[in-house]
Chains A and B, each alone.
Chain A
Amino acid sequence: MITVPRPVAPPEGSAVRPAALVAAFATQLRVYRRAPTALLVHSVFYLMVTAVLSGLWRVAVAATGGTMAGYDPTAIVWYITTTEAAILGVRQRLIEDEGEEIVSGRIELDLLRPAAVFPLKYAAQLGEAGPKLICSIVVGVTWARLFGGAIADAGALALAGLALVLAVLVNVAAQLAMVALSFWLHDVKSTWFLYQKLVFVLGGMLLPLEVLPATAQTVAKALPFMAMAYVPGRLAAGHVELGLLGLQALWLVVMVTAAAVGYRVGLARMVRHR
């Protein structure tokens, strides 16, 4: 006869081995080493999108007398170039792909490894985003310098580089937090669709938040999406506002916590009720 201990929640968050996180990150780098054309395709796509959008915005700014909401033609090119780099670096269908893992039950495989699920997924996604971000920065700086001209404050650009990294960290964490909703909501496609549109508009990817009506601007600046695109764009456009980096750091903590808790609670629910 076996004694029956009381069931307790699986300790999802208790096993994070740094070497495993490094390995998860490095494994994605190896994928690029095997298939470097993926980075070439990404760079070409990024350049096309950036060229079209920044060209349109430069014409629009010029048509309104040379500045729009504090952005001159040079600043708007750097803004769009930077926001596109921040968003396109992250896997486009992350929510859909990872959500499908949960809905289909394939995530069970991850439970058969001695490691917490969320940190490994986070590290793997950052491994995928990192090289894309570096390519985007190289292509983007070249494009903005040639097409938009130089930004007067070089310090702002350095801060924008830091903000780009934070933007990707927040974006990936936020997307994984949305993925965790798949433990309860099984419609991952609509989750992804909604998230994408919010980032496009309220995140400031397609336009600086300053051009939005006052109320929409207030709402947008209170949401985490601004940390994913607007902040690095604003800094790259020459506005040295250190408080924006603080906001990014705050949203990073919030999103990582939300994703970690979401996975922990969702997995615990799955092993009990699935």
Chain B
Amino acid sequence: MTTCREIHDFLMTWLDGELEPAVNERFEHHIAACSCCNNYVDSYRKTVELGRTAFDPCGDAASESTDAAEVHPPLPDELVQAVLAARRKASPPGDGA
């Protein structure tokens, strides 16, 4: 017998297609018959998708852009200057590099 807990524990392995064929069959049989597990699988998938998009820049214009660099604000100028100054300090021009 397969319990709901087993389904939940090995759900990622199942979704990744890494279960043994026999176990896979028992899994699918259980999920088809158990509305609780069916809802769990569906909400787990939605959770992964929600996580994936949680940090996407907001707004329709942003979601249409394929180039992430276009939708992030530029680096603060002080940061750019600080990095350039630190780099010059680490390897001054003409040090034979």
Same complex for A and B? Answer no
Interface residues of A (CB under 8 A from B): none
Interface residues of B (CB under 8 A from A): none
